[in-house]
Amino acid sequence: MNKFKYFYYMFIIIVSIITINTYASYYYGENINFTKIVQKSSFSVVKISTIKKSLYSINILPENKIPEILKKFFGKVSGINIGYISNNNEVYSIGTGFIISKDGYILTNAHVVKDFDKIIVKIKNNKDYYAKIIGIDNKTDIALIKINEQNLPVINIGNSDNIKVGEEVAAIGSPFGFDQSITSGIVSAINRTLPNDIYVPFIQTDVAINPGNSGGPLLNIQGKVIGINAQIITRSGGFMGLSFSIPINFAMNIANKIKNEYIST
């Protein structure tokens, strides 16, 4: 009888160890490898280039004062816009967005497209489209734009209400114009309120976000978008480990209101 109990308990222990190892491998091994997730989601992520004529150079650095690598790039860094004026007095900028419907609706940040004369969207197959602004909500920094195309790959929308502090996340964007760039990290906090953005309950992460990432998706380990990468807090002008994203549930609610003309621009 004692021998039977010994083998019985040994069997239980072995099964438990196998189960725990399998669980750990699934959640802490395979799932934090974003390779397949990114390959699928990246087709729905777009690079947004914007152009406007400039009569003044206020808050915009002159071309000869900007490092060569930055001259084509633009983003929001702790509320500061960085761009450059070309010889023909045009201001260029770069941002990111993602496709939320097959017929060409794209979600991004308001500061990426606001006040620009031309908006050019580049999808992953390198095809360019002119986009029009459907609507902008300045209070929440959310914009809905549209390109004239059908049967586009739509990003998988997640549920930002289920976000847990400590979970792995990844961002896809165009930092400094390098489109389809991937960075990853963890959720540091949720429901953050920033001094100048009292309307948005931000997701805080340590994902590397830089100028040009604005408007891009924050993805969970299932490849679902849970936020829009919006801004960082920095003292150096570059990434310092404090990135903030707009929860996707919040953003989609605003986007639907814009689409249905409940929000005026």
Tell me the catalytic residues.
111, 141, 214
What is the distance between the alpha carbons of residues 215 and 112, in angstroms, rounded to a whole number?
7
> Rounded to the nearest 5°, which phi and psi values hold at 89?
65, 35
Beta bridge partners, 24, equal: none
β-strands 142-147, 105-109 pairing: antiparallel
Amino acid at 236: S
Which residues have C-beta within 8 Å of that of residue 182, sequence separation ≥ 6?
Answer: 34, 38, 42, 170, 171, 172
* DSSP secondary structure, 146-184, as one string: EES-SSPPPPPB--GGG--TT-EEEEEE-GGG-TTEEEE
Token readout for 48 is 């947004």
> Rounded to the nearest 5°, which phi and psi values hold at 2?
-65, -40
**Token pair 């049967």 in the structure block, residue:** 151
What is the distance between the alpha carbons of residues 40 and 100, in angstroms, rounded to a whole number?
14
- Kindly compute the dihedral angle of the four CA atoms of residues 159, 163, 167, 168, in this order, to the nearest 10 degrees: 40
H runs (alpha helix) in 88-246: 110-113
